[in-house]
């Protein structure tokens, strides 16, 4: 299942709002978020590992091993983004964002892209940080919606 994920959107909502979705189409058409966020679930785990120092496998097993919602074995799936990642993202300074982008850029998911550079990766992190801040301010959570 995870190896074929290609498209992921991140969005903010409450658990109640998530439960009110009729079907699992991209929630960014209905809720604030980042459509075509350039990252998938595995990349999100890598980022959390970088920011928290927790091994990737532990992050995945703890937070992303099972979707909150799924539309069958072929997806799409919705996962709750961990509070640890949101807390880490919202505290990043511009310098810390650049340093994180440098480290994250060494991962295969970025090195295999021809258009990835430190600045574009930092922009992705900045967008994620802004989404995390908004979610925490609005007392909502961040979710990742993904499909093959």
* Residue 109: burial class (beta carbons within 10 Å; 0-12, 13-18, 19+): middle
pLDDT band at 1 (very low <50, low <70, confident <90, very high): very low
What pTM was estimated for this model as a whole? 0.86
pLDDT at 52 over 70: yes
Q: Which residue has the higher pLDDT, 1 or 56?
A: 56
What is the C-alpha radius of gyration for the chain, rounded to an integer number of angstroms? 14
Query: CB–CB of 86/125 below 8 Å?
Result: no
pLDDT band at 38 (very low <50, low <70, confident <90, very high): confident
Per-residue pLDDT, 28: 73
pLDDT at 29 over 70: yes
Per-residue pLDDT, 83: 93
Q: What mean pLDDT do residues 71-81 have?
A: 86
Q: In the chain, how long is the greatest CA-to-CA distance?
A: 42
**How many CB atoms neighbour CB 93 within 10 A?**
9
């Amino acid at each position: 299942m995870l190896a074929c994920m290609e498209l992921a959107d991140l969005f903010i909502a409450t658990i109640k709002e998530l439960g009110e979705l009729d079907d699992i189409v991209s929630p960014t058409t209905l809720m604030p978020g980042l459509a075509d966020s350039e990252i998938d679930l595995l990349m999100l785990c890598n980022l959390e590992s970088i920011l928290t120092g927790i091994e990737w496998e532990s992050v995945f097993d703890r937070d992303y091993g099972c979707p909150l919602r799924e539309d069958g074995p072929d997806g799409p799936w919705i996962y709750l983004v961990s509070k640890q990642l949101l807390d880490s993202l919202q505290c990043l300074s511009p310098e810390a964002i650049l340093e994180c982008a440098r480290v994250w850029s060494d991962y295969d998911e970025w090195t295999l892209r021809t258009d990835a550079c430190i600045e574009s990766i930092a922009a992705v992190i900045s967008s994620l940080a802004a989404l995390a801040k908004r979610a925490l301010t609005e007392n909502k959570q961040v979710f990742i919606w993904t499909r093959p």
